[in-house]
Amino acid sequence: MYQGRTLVLSVDRDDDIGFKANVQSPVIGREACLQAANSLGLADPEDSDVNAIFQAIKIYDELLARGEEVEVAVVAGNHMHMIEGDRRIAASLSTVVKETGASNCIVVTDGAEDEFVIPIVQSNLPVSSIRRVVVSQMPNLEGTYYIIKKLLNDPKVARLVLVPLGLAMLLWGVAYLVDRPQIATFIVVGAIGIYLLYRGLGVDEIFEGFAHALRTSLTRGKFSFITYIAGILLVIVGVIMGLMNLLVYYAEIGLLLYFLIFMYGAVLWLALAGIVSSIGIIIDNYFYDRIGLAKVIVFPFFIGAVGLITYGACIYAISMNNIPDFPYTTSTALQLIFYGTIGGLICALSGIGIQYMVNKYLASQSTGEIIELV
């Protein structure tokens, strides 16, 4: 007989019990887990998490019949955001361990995706066994069609598969509509490539993080909400200015020069957007989290430094290629890149100096508080 209290844990990483059945996790206890399974089964009888929860209850009953100390629970993540979901699972698991007093765990999952959270479980208590529930299915063409249909109905899979396909078909149609069929393949392949890089490099997570920060600043009444909105508007202006520069200086040039011309018109606006947004973060940290103030105080200085250096470099590179009607000569551009580099370095060093003084001030404040407590 296993020593200590065993927790039979069903893991629902994509939070089907919350998304489909509106059941809040964690769910602790046999009756609560049975009710959660019934609710999910009524909401979606074809969901495999129903079987996983019933399997966890069955293991609980078997261990209880053998006289072991055992408890059963269900923890869930987030249906759309895996990172937030895993954090939620970690927090829920800590709650479950405190309430049940479990010393070891049997993990029950319905597939490989849920097993990604096993290291999270192991960080809270030892895992003595893992049980994967596989639902029996007829492996025929109808079953395959059914599985594909179920996957495409899932919002996560639909965003990953249907969006690039729909975008490719739309761009292909636009290319033929403007009577440029020869560039249709180039446009479609380029768009899909950009989308795959967007997903593969995690740019979507950056945007999701920004959206989360925007919602948080709004709901908590922080000043950064205003600066975020201003930053977004400045980014839009920067993109428009960059595109207008492409129209003004359009010529038969390479892709790299097109990018440099776009950046020449947009970079100062983009840098200003970053500076404005970071000022809001600094103000919020000053009022709500002064310990982290030193980490963010350098943001506007570094962003300004990068903007100045990039602006000068773009002007110099464009002037070297003799773009028609470009307002800067090579000698003038050389001066601008020199001034931009010097200005950027001064800006960055100023930020480092201010960060050092803020760190020193915060350290003295902490020391004073400790002396007062003593």
Cα distance between residue 365 and residue 367, in whole Å: 5
Q: Which pLDDT value is given to residue 368?
A: 56
pTM, full prediction = 0.52
Q: In this predicted structure, which of 64-68, 194-198, 273-277, 357-361 has the lowest mean pLDDT?
A: 194-198
Centroid of chain to Cα 210: 8
For all residues of the chain together, what is the average pLDDT?
81
- CATH fold, domain 6-132, is Rossmann fold (3.40.50)
- Pick the residue with more confidence: 114 or 344? 344
Percent of the chain at pLDDT > 70 equals 82
What does the pLDDT read at residue 373?
45
Report whether pLDDT(294) > 50.
yes
Instruction: List the domain boundaries for the chain.
Output: 6-132, 204-373
Question: In 132-202, which residue ranges form alpha helices assigned H by DSSP?
Answer: 141-153, 155-177, 184-200
- Identify whether the C-beta of residue 70 lies closer than 8 Å to the C-beta of residue 5: yes
How confident is the model over 349-371, as pLDDT tens digits?
999 999 888 888 877 766 655 44
Of 33 and 163, the one with more pLDDT: 33
Task: Check whether 251 has a pLDDT greater than 70.
Answer: no
Q: Contacts by 259-265 with C-beta closer than 8 Å and gap 24+?
A: 260/314, 260/317, 260/318, 261/314, 261/318, 261/323, 263/310, 263/314, 264/311, 264/314, 264/315, 264/318, 265/238, 265/241
Which two three-digit tokens encode residue 314?
Answer: 């773009």
User: Quick one: pLDDT at residue 157?
Assistant: 66
